[in-house]
Structure 1
Amino acid sequence: MEKLICALWAPEGESRADYAERLKASLPPALRAAGATGIRLNLRDATVEPAAGLVQTWQQPQQDAAVQFWLPSSNAYFRGQIDGVLAEHSSRFAAWLVAESTIIPNKDHVPQAGSRTWGWSQASFISFRPDMSWDDAVAHWHSHHTRVAIDTQANFEYVQNVVVRALTPDAPAYDAFVEECFPLEAMTDAPVFFDAVGNDEKFAQNTKAMAESCAGFIDFSRIDIIPTSQFDFAHLDAK
């Protein structure tokens, strides 16, 4: 099995709120019928609008949603039906084959079938620093930054996805996709985000450690960080 991450752009004139509702209703069953499993949507709906200040932008226009799923093979020869479904649900889509690593599984707020997961999900499309080799960037990310991200944030889910290769010709040249889930309050309350409520010293230490660690491997001029609502459709696998 292979995992795919796909960025989706809404048709011109369709609001993100309307687009999110349409994707929820029709994209998961269409992808399942085309052979996908483990389907998850990350939608920029009204619930996450308060997190607008956390958005970081490279793509213009920026992606309006993301979908994650698994296929027996990502080979283009077998992917035609999947690509057709994605095309029908977007004005444009980009897809990547990734290798998933679950750092913090969501045990505290387990996703419910087809419903919005508690809290919110920060979906990060990341590029590595151009002055570093791929090996050195991954080494810093895995051997140093992972521990920092666990220790300095209130994330109750943390999944790293290394991009293996782009599957569509116009896909932005990201190196990784990261999903982290936080309490809703973390959208607007930085001490909540950095697990330092009521502790100014810890807040300063955590924000400094996180900023320095990110700078150790991320190219901030080529990243797209979007707040999303997570919807999990793994229950469709039984159908």
Structure 2
Amino acid sequence: MEKVMITLRSPAADDIWCTRLRTEVAPRLSELGVPGLSVNVRDAPVRDSLMTLTTLDPPVVAVVSVWTQQSYGADIRGAIDVLSAECDAVAAYLVTESVPLPPPVTEPGERTEGLANIALLRRPDDLDESTWRTRWQLSHTPVAIATQATFGYVQNTVVRPLTDGAPVIAAIVEELFPLAAVSDLHAFFGAADDADLTDRMQRMLASTESFGANRDIDTVPTSRYVMRSPFAAG
């Protein structure tokens, strides 16, 4: 089975659009017969997150993840066609998924608690792929978990883009935080006080600098909805 992640970009996506994407458009994607489907939308509970960073114009306003038997099959082509009609630009990527910290299990279509912060990472030109991957996955992962209030952590390494003109990115990361992290840095980092916050932020910054994730990055605050889990029993 393969995983494909599709970014949707638009200058504006209000709550009506976000609701329609998960309640009307997502069922159409499910009808394509995909084994797994999740929808992340930048909606009202998270839209104004303090940790938002944007380089793309228009910005990413949703990310749809699809599990499939063939990344080059009819279901993915169908999903891209459906989603292309809903925004200004879509980009699809075949990824390999690593899960250092599994997200909580939810009922189909139910909102996952908290803030699902999605980061689009780019590999700096001065780092070869092996060094970049080692610093990100082996060195940075334990630092990220130790210094933030993360309760779900999924890393998706981009294998290749599946759509023409897709922005070049090396990985897509999803981290789950308490909802209070939208407006409170102490809650985002799980800090007990200001001194603890400063320490955690400095450790996190030093770690992200080592593989270039302190620059040229998009972070998209979203609400996460798992419509169909590819790993559900039965």
* Structure-2-length-normalised TM-score: 0.92
Alignment of 1:195 with 2:190, yes or no, is yes
Aligned residue type for 1:166: P
C-alpha separation between the residues in 1 aligned to 2:215 and 2:195? 30
Decide which structure has greater helix share.
1
Give the CA deviation at 1:129: 1.6
Aligned partner letter, 1:62: P
Instruction: Note if contact 2:95-2:157 (Cα within 8 Å) is conserved in structure 1.
Output: yes
Spell out, residue by residue over 1:186-223, the C-alpha distance to the aligned partner (whole angstroms, 9 max, x if none): 111111111113x3332221110101111111255432
Q: 1:209 aligns with which of 203, 209, 227?
A: 203
Q: 1:105 aligns with which of 99, 102, 118?
A: 102
Aligned position for 1:225: 219
Unaligned runs of 5+ in 1: none
1:130-149 matched pairs, under 5 angstroms: 130-149=125-144
Q: Is the 8 A contact 2:33 2:75 kept in 1?
A: no
Question: For 1:87 and 1:79, how far apart are their aligned partners in 2?
Answer: 12
Q: Is 1:157 matched up with 2:152?
A: yes
Secondary structure in structure 1 of the residue aligned to 2:103: coil
Query: Residue 44 of structure 1 corresponds to which residue in structure 2?
Result: 42
In structure 1, how many angstroms separate the alpha carbons of the residues matched to 2:212 and 2:73? Answer: 30
Asked if structure 1 preserves the Cα contact closer than 8 Å seen for 2:80 and 2:92, the reply is: no
Give the C-alpha shift of residue 55 in structure 1: 1.2
Which aligned pairs between 1:6-85 and structure 2 lie closer than 5 A? 6-10=6-10, 15-51=13-49, 53-75=50-72, 79-85=76-82
Shift of 1:112: 2.5
Amino acid at match of 1:28: A
**CA deviations over 1:57-85 (Å, ceiling 9, x no partner):** 11111111111111101116664322222
Q: Please tell me whether residue 115 in structure 1 is matched to residue 113 in structure 2.
A: no
* 1:126–1:224 contact (8 Å) kept in structure 2: yes
One-letter code aligned to 1:133: D
Amino acid at match of 1:193: F
Deviations 1:66-112 (A, max 9, x none): 111111011166643222222233332110000000110124xx322
- For structure 2, which runs of at least 5 residues remain unmatched after alignment? none
Moved more, 97-106 or 80-89: 80-89
Q: By how many angstroms is 1:150 displaced?
A: 0.9
Distance of 1:161 and 1:127 partners within structure 2: 12
4+ residue runs over 3 A deviation: 76-79, 235-239
Calculate the TM-score normalised by the size of structure 1. 0.90
One-letter code of the match for 1:131?
D
For residues 116 and 17 of structure 1, what CA distance do their matches in structure 2 show?
A: 14
Q: Which amino acid aligns with 1:130?
A: D
Q: Deviations over 1:129-173 (max 9, x none)?
A: 221001100000111100101100111000000000011111110
Report the CA distance shift for 1:124/1:68 in structure 2 as closer, same or farther (over 3 A): same
